């Protein structure tokens, strides 16, 4: 069995509203899968169906080879979940909550406390084991929730917004923990709105929008897809514009005119590069504009010079730097920017949104 | 064994929560005591020492006897005895006293004419009126009988003597019209003997068994809202349902946990009733506790049925109110069902609290055994069965 999770036309309807619309995807074993989507897109409903907390209306899913409809108890044995809202009993201590979960999973009495102790040490919450969950900080609560969710040694761990509201240091601790758990063989399903978190941790990412799985790839694959898609759109746009102009005026346009049209067109797919110059002047800006691959030059309020460039390779970076130096420009800082997962997310979900409105 | 551990955790969780929130524990103990005190002293007491003014415009034996009788009756607290009818009425109108008992100017004359005493009454105080009217009628009835008997005796010694009658009319202070008919002087010497088969039952004795039932009803129904709908809302229920555990085990655990707390509450209630109001439980404490247990089980079942598909505690509270409030007032907690309008009487019999109250009163006041109230128990268990079956069938595992 290659996949930890496989869905087959998984659908959930609430009366006339379709929360999840016949989605199909596979999550390889021992991978980290990021599930993205706008609020109300169907992520939580999908997770509920995969964790047997909601019955699919039609279709089904297999979790570690067990069907969520036919073998829910076997599925429950295989999964653990850390929900967004801490679902532990607030009046019980960290250890008592873990003990309660152990007994609900039927962990033998002689193993129970060893497992709980090991887990509390692993997530570094043992020092607060006798504290009531209601008295813990956000990060401590998530750690306590992890202990309770892992006590039965599940193969798959679902994490729903595990770092929401946590400070950056605690976030990093949890990210390390997630990575460690994955390294030890756990399949992790991470539901999050933190694109950086998903980009950094996940092997594969699925984007759900209006109940449909609208994108599925590796984080880099999604970004490359976006770039190539936008490039195609851009080329299509340019061809359309040029076609219209040539229809109206039979004489051919010069290369510089074509360049001018394309640089004024939709250039959102282009990669970005920016500088902070100590002695920015008009001469430098005009020289940068004359470089063929540079499509636009803007100066931000903070003085930063932003360039949009096609075909991002070492040569163009060299050309830009050489041009600035030749005009006696002094560079304080330089940065380049590729499309982010956030760009992918906004692009994909806004397309779906536009389709839905249409 | 595994299922037992799961059930045990629900009981343990209830008690650990209580222990760690002393405020809640105080509420569990204090609430029933406050209920008993509130209803016991507030509603269970008898009205007495109602302030009245007496208008005495004549002198003689009958006037003296009447004044003495009024002064020594607990119901009245005679604030003043005056000769001015208008002053007395002014005192009633101003709210200084609840009534003026006005004896006529010819009260002591022996001319044989009917004498009409007037009860000038502040009828805006309904409770006071309900006590003052029969008490005053009773006094003048007695006086009439005495008067008639003494005149009968005098008649036998002197054929020229003339019979004298007294009567009382009630005059409403608000409307100043005569409301009740004059009482004819009593001529009858028939004496009514009252045999109270369960002793001298106070309103408090009538109230306590039903207050016990009502308190258990309220706490069970409200408690199940927090236990099921509340945990569904906050996610604890999802945590339990993520484990390989059946709905029956989860619900069973909730029930046992809740019942253990409710039985503790019932014991506190009984102790409070015994200590504070000297309530005697004629049928014994164990049968009373068994009845309360059956009642608690029934209302916990009712709570489960209602919370089976509610997703928030607020939804549950809104859902339970239309059931709990009518049940509280229609099931004969405060007044006997027979005194209510027929439609409410019919309604009362669809509420389980009616049967619990009936059984509780039979055991606590009349000293009946559980066997004597078998019908109430069967009906309660029938309700319980229906509630549980519907509750489990309707229960939505989707969270």
Q: Assess contact for A61 and A114: CB atoms under 8 A.
A: no
d(CA A126, CA B80): 79
Within B278-309, residue ranges assigned H as helices are 285-307
Tokens 């019999």 correspond to: B349
Write out chain A residues lying below 8 Å of B9, CB-based.
100, 103-104
Whether residue B398 and residue A76 make contact (CB cut-off 8 A), yes or no, is no
Of B9, B234, B241, the CB nearest to A103: B9
A106 touches chain B (CB under 8 A): yes
Of B2, B234, B238, the CB nearest to A53: B238
The Cα-based distances of A131 to A95, A334, B25, B325, B358 in angstroms read 8, 49, 20, 40, 47
Percentages (nearest 5) of helix, strand, coil residues in chain B: 60, 10, 30
Q: Please report residues of B whose CB lies closer than 8 A to that of A46.
A: none
| DSSP3 helix / strand / coil % (chain A, rounded to 5) | 45, 25, 30
Of the candidate ranges A134-143, A258-267, A270-279, A333-342, the one whose mean pLDDT is the lowest:
A258-267
User: At CA B118, angle to CA B112 and CA B119, rounded to 5?
Assistant: 150
Q: Confirm if A190 and A197 have CB atoms less than 8 A apart.
A: yes
Q: Kindly tell me the sign of the dihedral angle through the C-alpha atoms of B49, B55, B58, B62.
A: negative
B236 to chain A: which residues are within 8 Å by CB?
87-89
Give the gap in angstroms from C-alpha B308 to the nearest C-alpha of chain A. Answer: 15
Q: A86, A108 in Cβ contact below 8 A?
A: no
Q: What percent of chain A has pLDDT over 70?
A: 87
Determine, for residues B2 and A106 on separate chains, whether the beta-carbon distance falls below 8 Å.
yes
Cβ neighbours of B5 in A, within 8 Å = 103
What is the average pLDDT value for chain A, to the nearest integer? Answer: 84
Say how far apart CA B365 and CA B380 lie, in whole Å: 20
Interatomic CA distance for residues A263 and A67, integer angstroms:
54
- pLDDT tens, chain B, 399 aa long: 667 888 888 888 888 888 888 777 777 777 767 777 776 666 555 667 889 999 988 888 888 888 898 888 888 889 999 988 899 989 988 888 889 988 888 888 776 667 788 888 887 777 777 788 888 888 888 888 877 777 777 666 654 444 445 555 665 554 333 333 333 443 333 444 445 555 555 667 777 888 888 888 888 888 887 788 888 888 888 888 888 888 888 888 888 888 898 888 888 878 887 887 777 788 888 999 999 999 999 999 999 888 888 888 888 888 888 888 888 888 888 777 777 788 888 888 889 999 999 899 889 888 888 888 999 999 999 999 999 888 888 887 777
3-class DSSP state for residue A358?
A: coil
pLDDT for residue A1? 64
List Cα–Cα distances, B171 to A246, B24, B99, B130, B277, in angstroms. Answer: 110, 53, 10, 14, 38
Token pair for B65: 């006897």
**CA distance to partner chain A, nearest, from residue B251 (Å):** 14
Name beta bridge partners: B50. B76
Read off the DSSP letter of residue A274.
E
Q: Do A87 and B6 touch (CB under 8 A)?
A: no
Question: Of B8, B20, B397, which has the smallest distance from its Cβ to A132's Cβ?
Answer: B20
In Å, how far from its chain's centre is CA B211?
8
Judge: B238–A83 Cβ closer than 8 Å, yes or no.
yes
Pick from A57, A91, A107, A142 the residue to mutate for testing the B interface (most B CBs within 10 Å).
A91
What distance in Å separates the CA atoms of residue A87 and residue B217, rounded to the nearest whole number?
A: 29
Whether the CB of A79 is below 8 Å from some CB of chain B: the reply is: yes
User: pLDDT (tens digit, 9 = 90+) per residue, B334-361?
Assistant: 777 777 788 888 888 889 999 999 899 8
Chain A residues in contact with B16 (beta carbon < 8 A): 91-92, 96
Q: Are the C-beta atoms of residues A99 and A119 closer than 8 Å to each other?
A: no
Does the pLDDT value for residue A270 go beyond 70? no
Q: Are residues A48 and B398, on separate chains, in Cβ contact within 8 Å?
A: yes
Instruction: Find the radius of gyration of the CA atoms of chain A.
Output: 26
Which of B23, B239, B240, B309 best tests the A interface by mutation, with the highest count of A CBs <10 A? Answer: B239
Q: What is the pLDDT of residue A314?
A: 60
Beta carbons of A199 and A341 less than 8 angstroms apart: yes
With H, G, I as helix, E, B as strand and everything else as coil, classify residue B83: coil
β partners of residue A18: A13
Give whole-number Cα distances, A59 to A29, A34, A36, A75, A186, in Å. Answer: 22, 22, 21, 16, 26
Structure tokens at B181: 């008919």
Please compute Rg for chain B using Cα positions. 29
Q: What's the Cα-to-Cα distance from A43 to each of A46, A148, A212, B255, rounded to whole Å? A: 5, 23, 10, 34
Å from A120 to nearest chain B CA?
19
pLDDT band at A33 (very low <50, low <70, confident <90, very high): very high
For residue range B8-42, list pLDDT tens digits in order.
888 888 888 888 887 777 777 777 677 777 766 66
How many contacts, defined by CB atoms under 8 Å, are there between A and B?
72
Contact B398 A54 (CB under 8 A): yes
**List of E strands, B3-138:** 50-55, 76-82, 99-102, 114-121
Subunit contact B239:A76, Cβ cutoff 8 A: no
Least confident of A66-75, A166-175, B75-84: A166-175
Structure tokens at A193: 């709105």
Smallest CA-to-CA distance from A337 within A285, A290, A268, A277 is with A268
Tokens of B5: 């551990």
Q: Is residue A138 pLDDT above 70, yes or no?
A: yes
Residues 27-66 of A with CB under 8 A from B: 48, 51-55
Lookup: tokens for B310: 């509610």
Confidence of residue A27 (pLDDT cuts 50, 70, 90): very high
Contact A54 B236 (CB under 8 A): no
Instruction: Give long-range contacts, CB 8 A cutoff, 24+ apart: B70-75.
Output: B70/B101, B70/B139, B73/B135, B73/B139, B74/B48, B74/B49, B75/B47, B75/B48, B75/B49, B75/B50, B75/B131, B75/B132, B75/B135
Question: Tell me: the pLDDT tens digits for A223-251?
Answer: 887 777 777 776 777 677 767 766 766 56
Q: How many residues does chain B have?
A: 399
Cβ pair B115, B184 in contact under 8 A? no
């Amino acid at each position: 069995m290659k996949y930890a999770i496989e869905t087959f036309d998984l659908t959930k309807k609430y009366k006339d509203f379709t929360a999840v619309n016949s989605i199909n995807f596979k999550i390889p074993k021992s991978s980290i899968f990021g599930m993205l989507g706008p609020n109300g897109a169907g992520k939580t409903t999908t997770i509920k169906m995969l964790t047997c907390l909601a019955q699919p209306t039609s279709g089904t899913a297999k979790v570690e080879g067990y069907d969520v409809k036919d073998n829910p108890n076997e599925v429950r044995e295989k999964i653990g979940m850390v929900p967004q809202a801490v679902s532990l009993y607030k009046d019980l201590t960290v250890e008592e909550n873990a003990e309660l979960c152990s007994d609900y999973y039927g962990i033998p009495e002689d193993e129970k406390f060893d497992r709980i102790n090991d887990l509390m040490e692993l997530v570094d919450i043992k020092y607060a084991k006798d504290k009531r969950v209601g008295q813990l900080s956000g990060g401590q609560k998530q750690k306590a929730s992890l202990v309770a969710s892992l006590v039965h040694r599940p193969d798959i761990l679902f994490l729903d917004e595990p770092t929401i509201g946590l400070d950056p240091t605690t976030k990093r601790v949890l990210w390390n923990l997630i990575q460690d758990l994955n390294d030890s063989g756990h399949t992790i399903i991470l539901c999050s709105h933190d694109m950086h978190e998903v980009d950094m941790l996940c092997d594969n990412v699925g984007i759900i929008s209006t109940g449909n799985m609208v994108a599925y790839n590796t984080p880099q694959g999604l970004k490359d897809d976006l770039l190539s898609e936008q490039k195609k759109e851009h080329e299509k746009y340019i061809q359309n514009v040029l076609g219209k102009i040539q229809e109206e005026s039979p004489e051919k346009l010069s290369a510089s005119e074509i360049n001018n049209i394309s640089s004024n067109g939709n250039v959102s797919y282009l990669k970005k590069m920016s500088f902070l110059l100590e002695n920015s002047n008009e001469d430098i800006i005009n020289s940068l504009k004359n470089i063929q691959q540079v499509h636009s030059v803007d100066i931000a309020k903070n003085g930063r010079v932003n360039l949009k460039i096609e075909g991002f390779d070492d040569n163009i970076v060299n050309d830009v730097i050489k041009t600035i130096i030749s005009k006696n420009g002094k560079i304080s800082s330089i940065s380049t920017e590729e499309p982010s997962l956030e760009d992918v997310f906004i692009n994909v979900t806004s397309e779906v949104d536009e389709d839905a409105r249409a | 064994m595994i299922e037992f551990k799961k059930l045990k955790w629900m009981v343990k969780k209830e008690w650990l929560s209580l222990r760690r929130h002393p405020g809640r524990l105080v509420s569990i103990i204090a609430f029933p005591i406050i209920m008993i005190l509130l209803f016991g002293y507030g509603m269970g007491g008898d009205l007495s020492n109602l302030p009245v003014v007496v208008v005495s415009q004549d002198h003689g034996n009958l006037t003296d006897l009447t004044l003495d009788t009024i002064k020594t009756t607990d119901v009245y607290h005679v604030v003043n005895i005056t000769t001015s009818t208008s002053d007395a009425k002014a005192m009633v109108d101003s709210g200084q006293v609840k009534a003026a008992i006005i004896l006529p100017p010819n009260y002591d004359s022996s001319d044989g004419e009917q004498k009409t005493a007037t009860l000038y009454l502040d009828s805006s105080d309904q409770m006071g009126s309900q006590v003052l009217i029969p008490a005053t009628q009773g006094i003048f009835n007695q006086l009439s009988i005495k008067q008639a008997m003494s005149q009968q005796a005098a008649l036998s010694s002197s054929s020229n003597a003339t019979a004298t009658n007294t009567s009382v009319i009630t005059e409403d202070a608000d409307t100043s019209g005569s409301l009740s008919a004059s009482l004819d002087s009593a001529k009858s010497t028939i004496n009514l003997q009252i045999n109270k088969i369960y002793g001298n039952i106070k309103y408090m004795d009538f109230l306590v068994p039903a207050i016990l039932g009502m308190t258990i009803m309220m706490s069970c129904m409200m408690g199940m809202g927090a236990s099921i709908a509340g945990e569904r809302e906050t996610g604890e229920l999802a945590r339990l349902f993520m484990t390989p555990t059946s709905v029956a085990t989860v619900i069973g655990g909730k029930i046992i946990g809740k019942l253990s707390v409710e039985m503790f509450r019932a014991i506190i209630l009984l102790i409070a009733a015994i200590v504070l109001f000297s309530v005697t439980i004629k049928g014994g404490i164990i049968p009373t506790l068994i009845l309360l247990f059956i009642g608690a089980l029934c209302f916990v079942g009712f709570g489960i049925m209602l919370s089976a598909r509610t997703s928030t505690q607020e939804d549950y509270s809104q859902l339970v109110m239309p059931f709990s409030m009518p049940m509280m007032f229609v099931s004969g907690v405060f007044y006997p069902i027979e005194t209510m309008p027929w439609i409410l009487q019919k309604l009362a019999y669809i509420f389980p609290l009616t049967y619990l109250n009936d059984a509780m009163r039979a055991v606590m006041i009349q000293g009946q055994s559980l066997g004597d109230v078998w019908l109430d128990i069967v009906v309660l268990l029938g309700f319980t069965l229906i509630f549980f079956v519907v509750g489990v069938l309707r229960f939505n595992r989707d969270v």
